[in-house]
Chain A
Amino acid sequence: MTETRVAEEPVRLRRTLPKVTDRFAAAGAVLIVVILLATILAPWLAPYPVDRLDLVHTLLPPSGAHWFGTDKVGRDVLTQVLYGGRTSLTIAVAVLAMSAAVGVTLGVVAGYAGGWLRDVIMRVTDVFLAFPALLLSLALAVVLEPSVTTAIVAIAVTWWPWYARLAASVAASISTRSYVDAARCLGVPAPMIILRHVLPNSLTPVLVQISLDAGGVILTAAALSYLGLGAQEPTAEWGLMVEQGQTLFTTNWWVVTFPGLAILVTAFAFNVLGEGLRNALDPRRVVK
Chain B
Amino acid sequence: MPRYLVRRLGQAVLVVAGVIVLTFAIMRLVPGDPAVAFAGPKATPEELAAARLRFGLDDAIPVQLWNYIRDLVTGDWGTSLRTRQPVRDDLLLAFPASLELVGTALLLAIAVGIPVGVLAARYKTKFPDFGVRITSMLAVSVPVFWLALALQTVFASNLGWFPIAGEYDSALDTTSPLTLWTNITIVDALITGNWPIFTSTLEHLVLPAVVVAAYPTGVIAQMTRAALIEESGQDHARLERALGFGETSILTRFALRPALNPVLSLIALVFAYAIVNGFLVEAVFNWPGLGRYAVQSISNRDTPAIAGVTLLVAVVYVLANLVVDLLQGVVDPRARAR
Contact = CB atoms under 8 A, between A and B. Distances in A.
A5 interface: no
A140 B152 CA distance: 30
Given A134-B279, A287-B124, A229 B141 contact: no
A246 B133 CA distance: 30
B31 A123 contact: no
B317 A256 contact: no
A260 B23 contact: no
Interface residues of B, number: 60
Contacts of A272: 137
A258 to B, nearest CB: 11
Interface string B282-316: 01100000000011011101010011011001110
Contacts of A263: 143, 146
A127 B22 contact: yes
Given A130-B318, A223-B144, A275 B298 contact: no
Interface string B219-231: 0000000100110
Given A143-B29, A228-B299, A242 B149 contact: yes
Contacts of A284: 230
B146 A285 contact: no
Contact of A143 (B26, B157, B272): B26
A179 interface: no
Given A130-B15, A136-B310, A140-B26, A249 B143 contact: no
A285 B231 CA distance: 11
B137 A268 contact: yes
A271 B137 contact: yes
A142 B140 CA distance: 27
A117 interface: no
Interface residues of A, number: 48
B142 to A, nearest CB: 5
B27 A143 contact: yes
A131 B141 contact: no
A222 B143 CA distance: 8
Contacts of A239: 143, 145
15 contacts: A124-B18, A130-B314, A130-B315, A131-B22, A132-B272, A132-B317, A133-B276, A223-B280, A226-B145, A226-B280, A227-B283, A227-B295, A249-B150, A264-B141, A267-B140
List the 7 closest pairs (A to B, CB-CB), nearest first. Answer: A127-B18, A260-B146, A267-B141, A268-B141, A132-B276, A249-B153, A263-B143
Interface of A: 24, 123-124, 126-128, 130-136, 138-145, 215, 219, 222-223, 226-229, 239, 242, 246, 249-250, 253, 256-257, 260, 263-264, 267-268, 271-272, 275, 284-285, 287
